[in-house]
Structure 1
Amino acid sequence: MRYRNIAVTTAVTGLVALGFAAPSQAGLTTFCDGVASDVSVPGDLVVRSGDSCELTNVTIDGNAIVRADADLLLDNATVNGTVRVRDNGFADVIGSEVTGNVRLATAYGAYVEDTSVGGNVNATDSGFFYSVGSTHSRNISSTNGETFLESGWVSRNLTTEGDALTDVYDTVVERNVSVSGASQGSVFCLSEVDGDASFSGNGDILQVGATAPLSGCGFNVFGGNLSITDNTAESYVSGNVVRGDLTCSGNDPAPVAENNRVRGTEDCGAESAISTMSQRRTMGPAEERKAEVKADIEARSDAGSDAAEDAGHAFR
């Protein structure tokens, strides 16, 4: 459990006391190093390089900026602006609301749980973006990272390019999905895509629905077309409902595509699929695929919480 007390300084007004709202002048920047609860921040919140800030039940009426090697831990918070995470910075946002965008640039990563994000999520050259039980009102995009969506809702598009992996569980995407160039592939389970979905140029393992090789997966519903193209992954596309066309081309090895309910045209049979279950790779449950990043999140969050607690009541 995290223990939060105040440790906030502001560039303009000096100190913000526990339980009191800071003055509401425009353009304030508040610097946070330590723990705080039950405060209002009238402008931008900045966590300086190397610092750790842990906040509970706060309102930030501006942007939250996490500088290099810094940590920001939010619980039951409202950010009326953008969350920006920079070089090796980390954001852990639980039970909160972010009205603006979430932007990661060469960040360690960001974890959001039971949180609503009103703007776009854009992660570039960062470790991971992990969303659990959260709603996203706009797009999620990632380049050269890792993307995990679990028990969530995305009102627009999900696009990843060059991720190590992109895994989606029990999630609704109202528009389109594009996963390309994921070196470890993608696992897409028990989810709904209202638009088109494409998986192209991915490696290692690609599982869209199916019950194997990763157990704990299941069928998806695609409102538009589903295309599986130019993958070098071992691909398994089974048991899905596809209301448009199901297309497979240029894959090596050819995918296993079976027991899909396709309303449009299906041409996956044109490829010579891996033929029997005995030939398929034996792998553990889907949880194992997420275990490493979950351990990284927990370790970084615990370290950030400890550092913030050590900073104490840092009124300076």
Structure 2
Amino acid sequence: MKRLALLTAGTALVAVGLAVPSQANLTTFCDGVASDVTIPGDLVVRADASCELTNVTINGNATVRAEGSLLLTDSTVEGNLRVNADAFASLVESHVKGNTRLVEAFGVYSEDSAHDLNVVATDSEFYYSLGSTHGRNINSTNAETFVESGWVSRNVDSDGGYLTDLYDSVVEGNVSVAGTDFGSVVCLSEIDGDATFTGNGGLVQLGAQAPVQDCGSNVFGGNVTLTGNNADGFVSNNVIRGDLVCSDNSPAPVVSDNRIRGEEQCDSASAAAFSTRSSVQSAETAQNRKDEVRGAIEERVAESEEAAEEAGPAFD
């Protein structure tokens, strides 16, 4: 049974063996597996459906409807990618030339992929980027955000959600993390603009060797500001080319062994003043949450692959 159908002007066309008169208003619905094809217009994954595409070019936008799943490998979306309520998208060695938008989504996993325009996640479980590049901004509201071994050409702006972490990554603009439950960890990264951490809980760790182990050092091109966090805080072993400002944090962060070219205006505490048990628990909570997300991604991918295979090939 063919699962990929082309709809134009209200008339359904089977994808194989038919000439398509125009790309205007052309929508392809996918439920199943396809490879080595070009979709002439927009792609839609219906609610609860699973679509697995390899070496596919989508010449329009891609939309994943509620609780659907889209798995892209070595594929290109010429337009925008939108992932709706409880839906999921996985991109491996793929390319989205437009915006990537998550709206109450289960999440998006991006590995060794490219996002030319903005990634915007709103009221979603997570956006997880591993080895991917971002041509503009990552903006998340009430969504967990992980950027690992990645590149962001503009800003990272995160408000709410459980946590926002940066590992081994470059952000050419500013980073702002506010109101997360479990805080933020920045390790082995370069942030060329200002970095601001405000009103977070749990753990805020910039560099340092503990409580998150082997976090290494970071380079901050602008100011670093920690304000109003109710979190265990550690700022160590960093190069800060602007000012370091810490105020109204409870407890005050531990600050040590930084190279600060601007001014240090920081209410800080000694490491001895911290409860080691509390700090370790905060680090474990953040790591456990990250492991949970990784496990959820693996489970959703496996379930989606199985569902797509059961749905059958897109083309006979």
TM-score (norm 1): 0.93
1:10 aligned onto 2:6: yes
- Alignment correspondent of 2:296: 296
4+ runs of 1 displaced by more than 4 Å? 20-24, 283-289
Structure-to-structure mapping, 1:105-254, within 5 angstroms: 105-254=103-252
1:314 to partner: Cα distance: 5.1
Q: Decide which moves more: 22-31 or 157-166.
A: 22-31
Task: Give distance in 1, aligned partners of 2:304 and 2:38.
Answer: 21
Structure-to-structure mapping, 1:15-54, within 5 angstroms: 15-17=14-16, 25-54=23-52
Task: Give distance in 1, aligned partners of 2:314 and 2:276.
Answer: 61
Task: Give distance in 1, aligned partners of 2:289 and 2:255.
Answer: 22
- Alignment correspondent of 1:311: 311
Q: Decide which moves more: 87-96 or 21-30.
A: 21-30
Indicate if the aligned counterparts of 1:26 and 1:42 stay in contact, CA closer than 8 A.
Answer: no
Q: Name the aligned partner's letter for residue 221 of structure 2.
A: G
Indicate if the aligned counterparts of 2:179 and 2:201 stay in contact, CA closer than 8 A.
Answer: yes
Q: Decide which moves more: 40-49 or 214-223.
A: 214-223
Indicate if the aligned counterparts of 2:81 and 2:101 stay in contact, CA closer than 8 A.
Answer: yes
Task: Give distance in 2, aligned partners of 1:143 and 1:87.
Answer: 15
Q: Decide which moves more: 271-280 or 214-223.
A: 271-280
1:275 aligned onto 2:260: no
**Residue aligned with 1:123, SS:** strand
1:295 to partner: Cα distance: 0.2
- Label 1:175 to 1:11 Cα distance change in 2 as closer, same or farther (>3 A): same
Indicate if the aligned counterparts of 2:255 and 2:268 stay in contact, CA closer than 8 A.
Answer: no
TM-score (norm 2): 0.93
* Equivalent residue for 2:253, pick from 252, 255, 263: 255
1:109 to partner: Cα distance: 0.3
- Alignment correspondent of 1:55: 53
State the percentage of identical aligned residues: 56
1:193-224 superposed Cα distances (whole Å, 9 cap, x missing partner): 00000011000111111110011311110000
**Residue aligned with 2:296, SS:** helix
**Residue aligned with 1:310, SS:** helix
1:24 to partner: Cα distance: 5.3
How many residues are treated as equivalent by the alignment?
310
**Residue aligned with 1:11, SS:** strand
- Label 1:145 to 1:195 Cα distance change in 2 as closer, same or farther (>3 A): same
1:278 to partner: Cα distance: 7.0
Ranges in structure 2 where 5+ consecutive residues have no aligned partner: none
1:17 to partner: Cα distance: 3.4
Q: Decide which moves more: 285-294 or 151-160.
A: 285-294
Indicate if the aligned counterparts of 1:179 and 1:200 stay in contact, CA closer than 8 A.
Answer: yes
**Residue aligned with 1:53, SS:** strand
1:273 to partner: Cα distance: 4.2
1:11 to partner: Cα distance: 1.3
